[in-house]
A and B are shown apart, each in its own frame.
Chain A
């Protein structure tokens, strides 16, 4: 284990608010906890906001930032904890409650209606009645919308239909929508991810104006430059817990990175790295795809676990989908065990590739079908070469896999929807075993799986490579990559920006390469 894992939280997590913030906070969360089956998303998080501050929220993927946002805007109900608005205890039971308190959240997924215009979107549900009963005062609608657009410096006609706008402009319209609701607390989730430099500057200028008016801003970002340029205070989350508070002048990017990744990894399964990699299983050269990835080069050999890491949105899943044939390739070459790969997922499957997708329930399993059905579905052509299906043989094959993978299910005829997350994941792996897959692509193999099952999954993956398979593994949890991978590629902005050998593989190196550090 690397030395990192031994780091104790040596940061002061109970310090009083910074000197600049005086008096009662505008809004305060105390002891917020939220548990999902198998995962503690938020664990006793306390957090205060003062008027006019920009509060940076940092954390790795899965650290609890988005859960915190959803609790704040009323989309989730916390299991425990209290809210205080200007010192008075309040309840947030629904999005409407949050709106009344002046909380507006700008999610990365947009809440815009594509074929309505900008003004109609900004004031959706709050249209101005005209003097003629029943009609909308369109003149006022466009006037007020223009005022909002002026405020955020967005130079477009409020009569423009939203679907004709680019992502950046849509983002700005979202911000305008939030502002028009007189938000006192604005929560933004990586708002600059899709913006150009000029638009980013404009956004920052708007934020400064809002600050002057006393609006508190919670700003989630992965970009260190922004964290230090904008933030008044910084809060770091890790594994659902608040692990540190800091002020930009009193900390360094390195220190923040260490706070974010310094987790203890509970994986009892030790991997044997002694294996010698075999033949080349996957070779990708100059791959670009319609899904946005550009110029990807990578190699995976039999007997190897190769990590593919980077932030969410850096293009990892897109690489997996392009290799598997699920997204159209526009340039470059992919060869599988020395043969060029063409066609869709069906051809990839025949060539021995298997994808264990990120979203088990929507992309990996047919939830209304049984465990046996799901285990057989990928291997049908292999199990039944004469095309005749035999339920008895499918059941035998399923029972064998259930035993081999130690899937906990009362019977092969159990509906797969009733299994736990870890067992469902084993079923997805099992269906590829039945298909005779030799190159496994895992996209977030341990997402939503509890700790005990995680090490079982890793034991399985290790067994696969020990048996001569090749594995490409995508994970947002750097600790996992460090723990199990022989090598890793790091992605940023839809490209591969570096490769780390076993000896270079550390969470800090991954985070440094994967984040904008400029």
Chain B
């Protein structure tokens, strides 16, 4: 772990990041409480179920690092999923469908980025507005109905195996690696950190940061497009409220993972742990037959706890 940022952030907090403790604690709890939890099949299930969230949480980490936020991601995913479903059903072409979904994501990312970087509209308002727009468009294109008749080759993206490993896990791992390289081994990643940490430093260094900021939001949109493919494959349909509110799980995972809302303090591996924590929580509660409503409240409580730690951490230093 060369990019471990959190443990060095504050000497007063324990060296083991809180999210790792939370993940271990929850896993232990469910292992004891539910015999079905600690089986190879179920653990693989947790991973597969976490992939869609991971695809949103990765770009969300970068966005939050720029002191931004994208509330529109769930709605954009939903819209992209519907567009993909409609195209695939009409043309029987996965490639065309994926292009459509990516185009939707990129377009919304561009609009978000332009509103935020170009017009200086606060990120949470700009993306709240585009959330409404995307949600509305989702209702319009689907006319409030599910799009069914998804071909088998699309379903296989979620339920199939490649080299004996469930395909979604490979997709998730691939994108994690890609984001790791992007954040820690490219100029882009360095500048993302500086966008939140000290924009003046970028200006002094002659970097055109507004374009970068737009690119960050477009990346978020594109990832919502990729996630739309998995979502469509998973639910075997395009549904007008499929992923509404999923951005909250993503923000929760990022916040749990120790990325803070100011100064560009981000930690990608923490986001992975955060995603798994949310995944384990949902899976474990499912096994214990706890209704999904309580799951939402549990995640909410976890996030508020994480934000409290974040706020205490920043007031201490």
Instruction: Say whether, besides A114-B264, A115-B263, A115-B264, A124 and B194 are in contact (CB < 8 Å).
Output: yes
**CB pairs A–B below 8 angstroms (21 shown):** A112-B198, A113-B194, A113-B197, A113-B201, A115-B265, A116-B190, A116-B193, A116-B264, A120-B190, A124-B205, A124-B207, A125-B205, A126-B205, A127-B187, A134-B186, A135-B185, A135-B186, A136-B185, A136-B186, A163-B263, A164-B8
B205 nearest CB neighbor, chain A only: A125
Max chain B Cβ within 10 angstroms of own Cβ: one of A120, A134, A161, A163: A163
Contact between B197 and A116 (Cβ–Cβ < 8 Å)?
yes
Are A96 and B197 in touch, CB under 8 angstroms? no
Give every chain B residue within 8 A of A125 (Cβ-Cβ): 202, 205-207
- State in angstroms the CA–CA spacing of A37 and B2 once bound together: 52
What's the Cα separation between A136 and B190 when bound, in Å?
A: 10
Q: How far is the CA of A61 from the CA of B181 in the complex (A)?
A: 48
A136 partner residues in chain B, CB cutoff 8 A: 185-187, 190
A143 at interface, CB cutoff 8 A: no
Query: In the complex, A297 Cα to B181 Cα: how many Å?
Result: 57
Residue of A116, A124, A127, A138 ringed by the most chain B CB atoms within 10 A? A124
B264 touches A124 (CB 8 A): no
Chain B interface size, under 10 / 10 to 19 / 20 to 34 / 35 or more: 20 to 34
CA A138 to CA B2, docked complex, whole Å: 12
- Cβ of B204 within 8 Å of any chain A Cβ, yes or no, is yes
| CB <8 Å contact, A115 and B193 | yes
Q: What chain A residues lie within 8 Å of B202 (beta carbons)?
A: 124-125
* A124-B186 in contact given A113-B194, A164-B8 (Cβ < 8 Å): no
Q: B200 within 8 Å of A by Cβ?
A: yes
| Minimal beta-carbon separation of A176 from chain B (angstroms) | 14
* Chain A contacts with B in 109-123, Cβ cutoff 8 A: 111-116, 120-121
Q: Is the CB of B264 within 8 A of A111?
A: no
Whole-angstrom CA separation of A219 from B200 in the bound complex: 24
Chain B residues with CB under 8 Å of A116's CB are: 190, 193-194, 197, 264
Instruction: Kindly state whether residue B137 has any CB partner on chain A within 8 Å.
Output: no
Closest to B206 in A: A125
Q: Which B residues are in CB contact (< 8 Å) with A130?
A: 185
A166 smallest CB distance to B (angstroms)? 13
Q: Is the interface of A mostly helix, strand, loop or mixed?
A: loop
Identify the closest chain B residue to A129 (Cβ): B187
In the complex, how many residue pairs between chain A and chain B have their CB atoms under 8 Å apart?
A: 66
User: Nearest chain B CB to A473's CB is how many angstroms away?
Assistant: 33
Q: Does B5 contact A (CB under 8 A)?
A: yes
Known: A120-B190, A127-B190. A111 touches B181 (CB 8 A): no
Q: Which bracket fits the contact residues of A?
A: 20 to 34
Query: Which residue in chain B gives the minimum CB-CB distance to A138?
Result: B185
Q: Are B185 and A96 in contact (CB-based, < 8 A)? A: no
B266 within 8 A of A: yes
Are B201 and A111 closer than 8 Å at their CB atoms?
Answer: yes
Residues of A near B198 (CB, < 8 A) are 111-114
Q: How far is the CA of A95 from the CA of B207 in the complex (A)?
A: 13
- The list of the 7 closest CB pairs from A to B, nearest first, reads A125-B205, A113-B197, A113-B194, A111-B201, A115-B265, A113-B198, A124-B205
**Smallest beta-carbon distance B12→chain A, Å:** 13
| Chain B contacts for A112, CB-based, 8 A | 198, 201
Q: How far is the CB of A106 from chain B (nearest CB, A)?
A: 12
Q: Is A114 within 8 A of B206, CB to CB?
A: no
Q: Give the distance in Å from the alpha carbon of A138 to the alpha carbon of B202 in the complex.
A: 19
Apart from A124-B190, A125-B202, A125-B207: 8 A-B pairs, beta carbons within 8 A: A112-B201, A115-B197, A115-B266, A121-B201, A130-B185, A135-B181, A136-B185, A164-B9
Measured between beta carbons, the chain B residues less than 8 angstroms from A163 are: 9, 263, 265
Q: Shortest Cβ distance from B209 into chain A, in angstroms?
A: 10
The distance from the CB of B6 to the nearest CB of chain A, in whole angstroms, is: 10
Expressed in whole angstroms, the minimum distance between the Cβ of B48 and any Cβ of chain A is: 30
